[in-house]
Amino acid sequence: MADDNGKRQTPKLDELTTGPWPSFVREIKQAAETNKMSGDLLGQLELSYEEKIGHWKHGGIVGVMGYGGGVIGRYSDVPDKFPEVAHFHTMRINQPAAWFYTSDALRKLCDIWEKHGSGLTNMHGSTGDIIFLGTVTDELEPTFSELTQAGFDLGGSGSDVRTPSCCVGPARCEWACYDTLNCAYDLTMSFQDELHRPAFPYKFKFKCAGCPNDCVASIARADMSIIGTWRDEIQVDQDAVAEYVDSGMDIQSDVVMNCPGKCMKLEGRKLHIDDKDCVHCMHCINTMPKALAPGKDRGACILLGSKAPIVEGALLSSVLVPFIKMEPPYQEIKDLVEKMWDVWCEEGKSRERIGEFIQRVGMGNFLEAIEVEPVPEMVAAPRDNPYIFFEEFYEEGDEEEEEENE
């Protein structure tokens, strides 16, 4: 619907340009000033707001030569009304670890995208990639070419390794128990082939968190969650504890009583921690950052299997390796991952995440297949149902043979 000047009217979307939070409508309009694709996107979105339904067709296979992932095909289902978004594909660009940018790098990305696409981005997508939102099929190769010349590459999509991501880690955080940026970068570079050329039953995500606070939500969102932790004593600066006491902090209620391991005692202005009962939850450290710090013997806990509800229900990652030292090139982790992929790729069903696969075949069987010993740290509690698939049993005559051998 156009007004007298021929400019498209978007009354519903215009209502979202006011208010204290930055407006995505303002962003689209900004891009639309110089880009017809964004103009038509605005129009189609207004139609969606009027009709309360989306206007995108289902998928479509597009990409760049030699890659199977990194581009998501998208086509408008009303191209007659909005021809500039008849094709409106998304490109995923692998972000720099922990999303650090220089102004020059950002400007370079803007130069490329304004030339080849809608000028609209997501900073960032949920997995962590830079999203170039909307271009036509013919622009995919030229965009990719300019990106690689500038030192950028596509991220993952489809049944592949998805772009690994990490928290800010040792770049800024005093709690980082391993170099999350280096780990994410190393995994990304080691698995470039698996990332760009989907060959798995379904997606596989790595997320690297520096400590159990897990600021990248790896335990909820990654197939392999690498969560930094320590195994020796929490470092305590008792002078700083005394300062917190003097400042009026209610350490007894807010820290000691909140400790899930029930391992802390405040005596006057001194804090005692019985570290053998510490579950490394980070709460006390979070509350008293000047007085407490993770221990010195640092590494990571590796958990496996988280996913969103579809198909068999949501899962959180569960412990696979209680503690591992995190030293580049992280060969132990890569060896473990390769074994897991061998088993999962061989036996997994189409669109079966590794977490669902483990639920189907049984964690015990999966551990055997990847040659990892079962340990109690892997369970919250042993089974409470008696349906045990016994594999060992006696045959007739075994008892007599044993007696003879004794």
Partner 1 sequence: MAQAQQERKTDIGPPHYEKHLPPVVKKNYGKWKYHEILKPGVMVHVAESGDKLFTVRAGSPRLMSTKTIRWYAELADKYCGGHLRFTSRNNVEFLLTEEGKIDPLIAELKANGFPVGGIGNAISNIVHTQGWIHCHSAATDASGIVKSVMDELEEYFSSTKLPGKLRIALACCLNMCGAVHCSDIAILGVHRRPPKVDHSRLPKICEIPSVVASCPTAAIRPATVDGAKSVEVDEDRCMFCANCFTVCPSMPLNDPLNDGVSIWVGGKVSNARHEPMFSKLAIPHIPNNPPRWPEVVDAVKNLVEVWAANARPHERMGEWIERIGWPRFFKLTGIEFTKYHIDDFKHAGLSYKRSAHLKY
* Shortest Å, Cβ 111 to partner 1: 8
What's the order of all strands across the beta sheet hosting 89-93?
Answer: 71-72, 89-93, 130-135
Selection from 94, 109, 106 nearest residue 165 by Cα: 94
Decide whether 193 or 399 has the Cβ nearer to partner 1: 193
Are 166 and 176 in contact, with CB atoms under 8 Å apart? no
Kindly state the number of chain residues that form the binding site for partner 1, as judged by CB under 8 A.
Answer: 124
Question: Which residues 6+ apart lie within 8 Å of 317 measured at CB?
Answer: 218, 219, 220, 222, 223, 224, 225, 303, 304, 305, 306, 355
Residue numbers 151-180 binding partner 1 by CB under 8 A: 151-153, 165, 167-168, 170-174, 176, 179
Residue numbers 308-347 binding partner 1 by CB under 8 A: 308-314, 316
Question: Which residues 6+ apart lie within 8 Å of 253 measured at CB?
Answer: none
Position among 8, 124, 334, 339 found at the interface with partner 1 (CB under 8 A) = 124
Q: Could you tell me the two tokens for 405?
A: 């051998």
Decide whether 199 or 314 has the Cβ nearer to partner 1: 314
Type and span of the H or E element at 25: helix 24-32
Q: For strand 130-135 and strand 165-166, is the pairing parallel, antiparallel, or unpaired?
A: unpaired
Q: Segment contacting partner 1 (CB under 8 A): 53-61, 268-276, 369-377, 398-406? A: 53-61
* Shortest Å, Cβ 392 to partner 1: 28
Q: Which long-range contacts (CB under 8 A, 24 or more apart) does 255-261 make?
A: 255/283, 255/284, 255/287, 255/288, 258/283, 259/283, 259/284
Residue numbers 189-248 binding partner 1 by CB under 8 A: 189, 192-193, 196, 212-217, 219-221, 227
Asked if 53 interacts with partner 1 (CB under 8 A), we say yes
Decide whether 177 or 370 has the Cβ nearer to partner 1: 177
Asked if 251 interacts with partner 1 (CB under 8 A), we say no
Position among 23, 78, 136, 339 found at the interface with partner 1 (CB under 8 A) = 23
Q: Segment contacting partner 1 (CB under 8 A): 1-9, 119-127, 263-271, 391-399? A: 119-127
Are 12 and 49 in contact, with CB atoms under 8 Å apart? yes
Position among 37, 91, 98, 236 found at the interface with partner 1 (CB under 8 A) = 98
* Shortest Å, Cβ 17 to partner 1: 9
* Shortest Å, Cβ 267 to partner 1: 22
